[in-house]
Amino acid sequence: MPETPKPIKKEAAFFDLDNTLLRGSSSFLFGKAAFERKYLGRRDLYRFAWQQWKFIVRGETTKMMANIEEKALGLVAGHKAQELAQMVIDVYDEFIAPKLWPEAVRIAQEHMAKGREVWIITASPREMSDEIAKRLGLTGGLGTLVARDENGLLTGELEGRPLHGKRKLTAMKKLAKERGISLKRSYAYSDSANDLPMLSHVGHPVAVNPDGRLTTFAKAAGWKILDFKKREIRRRNKAKKKAEASKGI
């Protein structure tokens, strides 16, 4: 009897969220929404803003991520799980959508159009990745899980550890096994050297708005590099010159 052919594995694209699909930190944007709903004081908002500025200018560090995540978890402690999901929904149009990189969104949706699965994989809460993936028409999201007590209230603790660094690779491998995805034929996008484990395990790694360490590694490895920040600066300068020319300056 002829052998049964092995099923053809799927291709997928995995996108980091902060500074890859989204300009800056999703936790900061969540903090702004929490401030408006009086879950957060003005001093805390200033601290979030300072972390956001450092994140955009310097890139992601483990200590910075820990500080942001700890504060964000403190905000949701004692609230019902559905309140967190609803806050993410509420924050999307005003805070999240305007901060999405159009180029990154276009690339993600092009992958979908070519029949690939597209997953957001982030240290932000799972509710955040799920909602953004849903709004953009992507396959789904993977994110950090916030623990709930027997009454459905968020404890402010995590189930396990944040989905960060090597844990993203573990989650990606698990998902690939469950859904029959070939990582060798798949893509991954990130801005941070902390995601080198994930980037190094796909056939098509792409550095997006990369930090210094990732830039060095990507150039040495011959990886594709996309810098939306530089494109934005060029676009703004071009628009400024055009406006000045129209005024005869």
In the predicted structure, residue 154 carries a pLDDT above the cut 90: no
- List C-alpha distances in Å: 125 to 73, 92, 114, 142, 143: 9, 14, 28, 8, 5
pLDDT value at position 60?
Answer: 47
CATH of the domain at 16: 3.40.50.1000
Q: What is the pLDDT of residue 242?
A: 58
Mean of pLDDT over the chain: 77
**Taking the CB of residue 49, how many other CB atoms lie within 10 A of it?**
13
Which 3 state secondary structure label does DSSP give 198?
helix
Domain-embedded: residue 171: yes
Domain span at 203: 12-246
pLDDT band at residue 5 under the 50/70/90 scheme: low
Report yes or no on 1 lying in a domain: no
pLDDT value at position 41? 46
Phi, psi of 206, deg, nearest 5: -135, 125
Q: How much is the average pLDDT of 222-246?
A: 70
Question: Per the domain annotation, does 223 fall within a domain?
Answer: yes
- What are the catalytic residues? 16, 18
3 part of a folded domain: no
> Stretch 111-116: mean pLDDT, rounded?
98
Q: Which two tokens mark 10?
A: 């799927």
Residue 232: inside a domain: yes
Residue 7 falls inside a structural domain: no
On the question of pLDDT at 135 being above 60, the answer is yes
According to DSSP, residue 211 is labeled -
So what's the pLDDT on residue 155?
58
Q: What is the pLDDT of residue 232?
A: 65
Task: With a cut of 90, say whether residue 100 has pLDDT above it.
Answer: yes
Q: Check if the beta carbon of residue 180 is closer than 8 Å to that of residue 102.
A: no
d(CA 214, CA 219): 8
Contact 118, 34 (CB under 8 A): no
pLDDT of residue 233: 61
- Tokens for 43? 């001093």
Residue 50 has pLDDT above 50, yes or no: no
Number of structural domains in the chain? 1
3-state secondary structure of 148: strand
> If pLDDT is split at 50, 70 and 90, which confidence band does 163 have?
confident
Q: Is residue 186 in some structural domain?
A: yes
